[in-house]
Structure 1
């Protein structure tokens, strides 16, 4: 979408990844390996050095936002515009618990939840949530995308279960044992969220906003198997507008919703573009390029003629790629 922009501007794309074999690097003009499992200061130094060496005009970070958000001026001094919201917003939104607390305070519906980090806390949380008759799930409380998500289910397996598509199921005992074993071995244990498993379909609202958090346009997408529905639903956009405005989210962000008893409730809010933002191309608006225009101080271009209400299919394709030109990152 950046290359096929409506201004026909020539774009040269540089990418980094911790995995030198990442296919995304082959789609870049220049790829580089970035340092893995380093602290925020080391990562910020790497990013600044990368931008200086390659004379990067625009940096669009999809991760490690907490490492970069406080360095907008340093990047600007290097000639790079950083597409990032404020450190305060990122600090809240990288914690699902703090996100739910803030959203609930402004009237956005959120699920019941508990924060746990040990076996006893897990069992108590599961008992509390299950008391309402809900299926219970668990996931890391930090920014881990979908990694770590499990549905907690202690019921015996049936033949129907064995023949059905695999689901991320795990028993409460198995999770409790893992938490206890990690504690016994003095392994670092992150905080987890225990909450009801919310009804589908999951709705992802891709948002474009001004630097002050004013929502400019939003595109809700719902999953339906291999299809994505591009929804024309003002109620979902209203929730996204409320969250984006409250947190002052700038440029590209993403609000994820599911349903509880037929009502949309917040699943998470991300101060970055979603991985599925490419699906919005079928609405007739190029969100990534509009965000780049905003970041560079221009107007975002025409946004009003969204084609919503349609359905697109997510399919696999094979693309021939050449060897990525990789340089090993120092650090």
Structure 2
């Protein structure tokens, strides 16, 4: 979408990844390996050095936002504009529990939840949140993507369970035992969230906003098997607008919703572009390019009303992967 921009501007793309053979690097003109498992200061210094060495005009970080947010002036001195949400928003939105607390205080609909770190807290949360006919789930409270997500199911294994697609099921007892064992072995235990399992298709809203949180465009989409639906969903857009405005999000962000007892609630909000933002191209908008224009010129360019209500197919392709690396980055600690 950056290369096929509406202004036919020449774009040269530089990318980094912790793996030299990451398929995404095939889309880059220049690629490098970035440091893995380093602290925020080391990662920020790596990013600044990369931008200086390559004369980067715009940096769009999809991760490690906590290391980069608030450093816009440092990058500006290196000649690079940093596309990133404000540090306060990044600090809240990279924690699911802080996100829910702040959203609830702002009147944004969120599910009930409890934060747990040990077996006793887990059992109490399950007792308090459990409702007949509804399932509960558990997931890390921090920014772990879908890693660690499990649905509680204490029922016996049935034959049909063995014949269907596997689901991430776990018993309450098994999780409680794991938490107790970690505590007994003095292992560091992160915070987890226990909440209702939200059924139904997830609605993911890709947003473009001006600094300060003024929403400029929003494209809701949902999955339907191999298809993606571009939704005309005023309720989802309204919640996304409230999130963007309340947290003061800028440029590209993503708001994820699911339904609980018939109403849409916030699942999570990401102050960065989503992995599926490319699907919004079929709405007639080029959100990534509009965000770059907004960052560089203060103007996103023409933003026609998005074409919503359509369905697109997601297909797979295969390509041989070769390391696309100039030189390994130095690993710090």
Instruction: Pick the TM interval, shorter chain.
Output: over 0.9
Q: Distance in 2 between the 1:194 and 1:95 partners?
A: 14
Counterpart for residue 250 of structure 1: 250
Q: Using the alignment, how far apart are the partners of 2:70 and 2:203 within structure 1?
A: 30
| Cα separation, 1, equivalents of 2:12 and 2:159 | 53
Q: Distance in 1 between matches of 2:24 and 2:60?
A: 14
TM-score normalised by structure 2 residue count: 0.96
The match for 2:10 is 10
Q: Residues of 2 paired with 1:268 and 1:122: CA distance? A: 21
In structure 2, how many angstroms separate the alpha carbons of the residues matched to 1:190 and 1:2? 38
Per-residue displacement from partner, 1:22-51 (whole Å, max 9, x unpaired)? 111122111111111111111111111111
CA distance, structure 1, for counterparts of residue 293 and residue 178 of structure 2: 47
What residue is the counterpart of 2:309 in the other structure? 309
CA distance in structure 2 between the partners assigned to 1:44 and 1:10 by the alignment: 27
Work out the CA distance in 2 between the residues paired with 1:297 and 1:88. Answer: 24
Aligned pairs for 1:139-178 within 5 A = 139-178=139-178
Separation in 1, partners of 2:4, 2:298 = 18
Identify the residue that residue 201 of structure 2 maps to in structure 1: 201
Q: Which moved more, 1:213-222 or 1:321-330?
A: 321-330
Alignment of 1:61-210 (within 5 A): 61-131=61-131, 133-210=133-210
CA distance in structure 2 between the aligned counterparts of 1:186 and 1:21, rounded to whole angstroms? 37
**C-alpha distance in structure 2 between counterparts of 1:152 and 1:305, whole Å:** 42
3-state secondary structure, aligned to 1:255: strand
- What is the number of residues matched between the two proteins? 331
| Conserved 8 A contact 2:205-2:221 | yes
CA distance in 2, matches of 1:164, 1:313: 24
TM-superposed CA distance for 1:118, in Å, is 1.1
Do the aligned residues in 2 keep the contact of 1:20 with 1:326 (CA within 8 Å)? no
- Give 1:19's aligned residue: 19
Give structure 2 stretches of 5+ with no counterpart: none
The residue number in structure 1 matching 2:36 is 36
Contact map agreement 1:251 1:294 (CA 8 A) in 2:
yes
CA–CA separation in structure 1 for the residues paired with 2:70 and 2:89: 11
**Cα deviations by residue, 1:210-269 (Å, 9 ceiling, x for unpaired):** 012100000000111111110111121111111100110000000000001111000001
- Render the CA deviation track for 1:262-283: whole Å, top value 9, x for unaligned: 1100000110011110110101
Conservation of the 8 A alpha-carbon contact between 2:21 and 2:321: no
**CA shift for structure 1 position 134:** 2.1
> Larger deviation: 312-321 or 76-85?
312-321
* Structure 2 equivalent of residue 288 of structure 1: 288
RMSD value over aligned CA atoms? 1.3
Structure 1 unpaired stretches of 5+: none
In structure 2, C-alpha distance between the alignment counterparts of 1:13 and 1:180, rounded to whole Å: 48
Contact 2:119–2:176, Cα closer than 8 Å, also in 1:
yes
Alignment of 1:228-267 (within 5 A): 228-267=228-267
Report which stretch shifted further, 266-275 or 123-132.
123-132
- Which has the higher mean CA deviation after the structures are superposed, 51-60 or 128-137? 128-137
The question of whether the paired residues in 2 share the 8 Å contact of 1:69 and 1:87 is answered with: yes
**Structure-1-length-normalised TM-score:** 0.97
